Structure 1
Amino acid sequence: MKKALLITDIQSDFLGNMDYIYPLCQNYLDNSGDQYDLIILTHWKHEENHNENTLLLKHPKAQIVEKRGYSAYNDEMKKLLEENKIENVHLAGIDSDMTVLATMYNLLDAGYKVQVLERLLASFSTRGWESTTIMRFVLGEENVLNTGGGRVWV
């Protein structure tokens, strides 16, 4: 089964009190990125960041997908997943209670197996535990993977 890693919106204009998530995600990319058939990093361009590129993560295999809404599953993402024959998507990033959940539901609707990397999630609302509770209910406990770093919510 071909597998993709999708990390949403780890960008300088979003970190704030979530600055811990950037090194955790970068470390995971550095140490585990090569196990994936496809790596997608999303960047939310919006008026407040003047549509500038504020993405922080890097990996030689990474494809950058710009988005303008909560869900990362847009036409460009759909094309990348289809072209690479991806069946399983590992999902991580900011914002667990909005972007990650919206993306998770869209990927499920499109027929993908979705697994969430729990320790690589962050939430502006500091209510990440609630979003992971929803993820466990929807995906099943076995698809919320306890991997990627230390504690990621306060």
Structure 2
Amino acid sequence: MKKALIITDIQSDFLGNMDYIYPLCQKYLDKAGDSYDLVILTHWKHEENENENTLLLQHKKATVIEKRGYSALTDEVKQLLQENNIETVHLGGIDSDMAVMATMYSLLDAGYKVQVLEGLLASYSTRNWESTTIMRFVLGDDNVLQVGGDRVWM
């Protein structure tokens, strides 16, 4: 079964009080990125960062996708998932109650198996717990993985 990793919007203009999530996601990418058949990092382009690269994450296998809405399932991402015969998608990133959840629902509607990496989620609204509870209800306990939340050492 081919697997993809999508991490949404870990970018300097979004971190604020969620600055802990960047090193967690980068550490996970460094450790596990090569085990995925496809790695996608999204960069939400908006009026204030239109001409800037504010994306913080990097990995040699990663494809960076610019997006302008909540869901990461853009036409370009759909094409990449199809070309790589992806069946399962792991999700992490910012904002768990908006971008990650929108992506989860879009992927489910498109027929993909979705698993959320709970330790790699963050929320501006501090609604991460509630978001994860909804994801657990929708996906089932077995699809909310306790992955990526190791201690951060800088």
TM-score normalised per structure 1? 0.96
Corresponding residue of 1:57: 57
Residue in 2 aligned with 1:131? 131
Partners in 2 of 1:86 and 1:53 — Cα distance? 28
Report what 1:26 is aligned to: 26
RMSD: 1.3
Deviation, 1:51, is 4.0
Task: Note the alpha carbon deviations across 1:109-132, whole angstroms, 9 max, x for none.
Answer: 000000000000000001100000
What secondary structure, in the 3-state scheme, does the structure 1 residue paired with 2:42 have? strand
Deviation at 1:4, TM superposition (A): 0.3
What is the CA deviation profile of residues 11-37 of structure 1, one whole-angstrom value per residue up to 9, with x for unaligned ones? Answer: 000001000000000000000111100
In the other structure, the counterpart of 2:102 is 102
Structure 2 SS opposite 1:137: helix
Say which SS state the counterpart of residue 148 (structure 1) adopts: coil
Deviation at 1:50, TM superposition (A): 3.0
- Contact preservation (8 Å) 2:88, 2:115: yes
Deviation per residue, 1:42-74 (Å, 9 max, x gap): 000000223422100000000011100001101
Q: How does the TM-score come out when normalised to structure 2? A: 0.96
Distance in 1 (CA, whole Å) between partners of 2:21 and 2:66 is 20
- Identify unmatched segments of 5+ residues in structure 1: none
**CA distance, structure 2, for counterparts of residue 51 and residue 136 of structure 1:** 37
Q: Distance in 2 between matches of 1:35 and 1:10?
A: 20
Provide the aligned length of Structure 1 versus Structure 2.
152
Give the letter aligned to residue 92 of structure 1. G
After superposition, where does 1:7-86 map in structure 2 within 5 Å?
Answer: 7-86=7-86
